[in-house]
Amino acid sequence: MSQQTAPRIAFQGALGAYSHEACLQARPNMIPVPCTTFEGVIRAVRDGRADLAMLPVENSTYGRVADIHRLLPHSGLRIIAEAFVRVRISLMAQPGVKLSDVKHVRAHMVLIPQARSWLDAHGITSEAAVDSAGAAADLAVSDERTVGVLASEVAADIHGLDVLARDIEDLDHNTTRFLLMSPDLDASHRAEKMLTTFVFEVRNIPAALYKAMGGFATNGVNMTKLESYMAGGSFTATQFYADIEGHPDDPAVKRALDELDYFTNMLEILGVYPAHPDRYGR
C-alpha cells in the first residue's frame, strides 16, 4: 500500500510520543499524523486529513487526561476501539555517549517523577520539557554529550539516539488507556465483551443521579467508569462521562439506558466497541 492511499491516524505530540506508540501497536498499517494539540487531532479527522484519531483518556497512575472529557462530546467523532500502552521509560543520549557521561536529563514533566528513584540513584538531575519526544528530537540535532532524554524507545529509534537504560520507571504498572475515534459510529460489530461509552446530564430534581444509576444496579449492568465535569462553565450544570460493560441492544443494557434517559436532560452515546484484552489481563 502506497503512502498516498494508506489510511492515516492522528495523534497528539511529536513522532516517538507514547501516543505514537499507541498508534503503532493498535493500527500498524496506518500512517501516523502528529498534531500539536488534542483539538488538532480532532480537526485532522473532521477535515479529512486523517481517518482515525488516537486520544489518551486516562492513566492508571495520574487519572484522567485533562480536557479530553470536555472535548469528546463536541468532537463529532465516535469511539470504535480502545488501546492500552504500558509507559516504559528509556534513557537515551547521543550515539557513543556512555551512561556515566549523562549528568542531566530532559523529559515531559509527568515522566520525571516516575523515574525519580532511578535518577537519584545515578546522581542525574532533570528539567521539564514540553514533551519527551520533542526533547529527543532536539537532542538528536544538538552536540550535547552530557544530556539525556527520558522517553519511549520509539523516540530513540526515530531520532537515532542510543538507549542507555530501559524500564527505569519506579512503578511497573503505569498504563495509559487510549480511545480510537472515527467520524462514524458502528454499533453493529459484536465481540464477546463489549463496552458502551456515553455522556449525560441529569435533570435538576432531588436524587436524580441516584435514581438514574439505579437502573444499572437493578439490571446487573457493570459500570466501569463514572466521572463528572462542569458543562459550559456553570457550577450547577454537571455532566457525567460513563463506561459500561455491554451493548445497547443487550436487553439489560437497553432497560438501564431507558431508565437513565428518563432522569436526564441529555444522553449521548459516544461509542460502542469491543473491550481490549489488556483491560482484563491476557
Domains of the chain, by residue range, sit at 8-86+174-182, 90-165, 194-280
Q: What is the pLDDT of residues 230-279, one digit of tens each?
A: 766 665 557 899 999 999 999 999 999 999 999 998 999 999 999 999 88
- Dihedrals φ, ψ of 203, to 5°? -70, 155
Position 57 scores a pLDDT of 93
Name the fold adopted by 90-165.
Answer: D-Maltodextrin-Binding Protein; domain 2 (3.40.190)
Burial label for 78, CB within 10 Å (0-12, 13-18, 19+), is buried
What is the structure's pLDDT at 1?
A: 41
Q: Please, what is the Cα angle at 14 between 161 and 100, to 5 degrees?
A: 30
Closest to 244 measured CA to CA, from 265, 266, 213: 213
Confirm whether 8-86+174-182 and 90-165 share one CATH topology: yes
Fold for the domain defined by 8-86+174-182: D-Maltodextrin-Binding Protein; domain 2 (3.40.190)
Distance CA 179, CA 182 (A): 10
The pLDDT tens digits for 143-163 are: 999 999 999 999 999 999 999
Per DSSP bridges, beta strands 125-129 and 104-108 are: parallel
pLDDT of residue 2: 40
Which CATH number does the domain 194-280 belong to among 3.40.718.10, 3.40.50.2300, 3.40.50.300, 3.30.70.260? 3.30.70.260
Beta-bridge partners for 229 = 239
CA-nearest of 75, 155, 58 to 108 is: 155
Q: What is the pLDDT of residues 264-275, one digit of tens each?
A: 989 999 999 999
CA nearest neighbour of 138 among 100, 46, 130: 130
pTM of the model: 0.88
Report d(CA 42, CA 45) in Å as an integer: 5
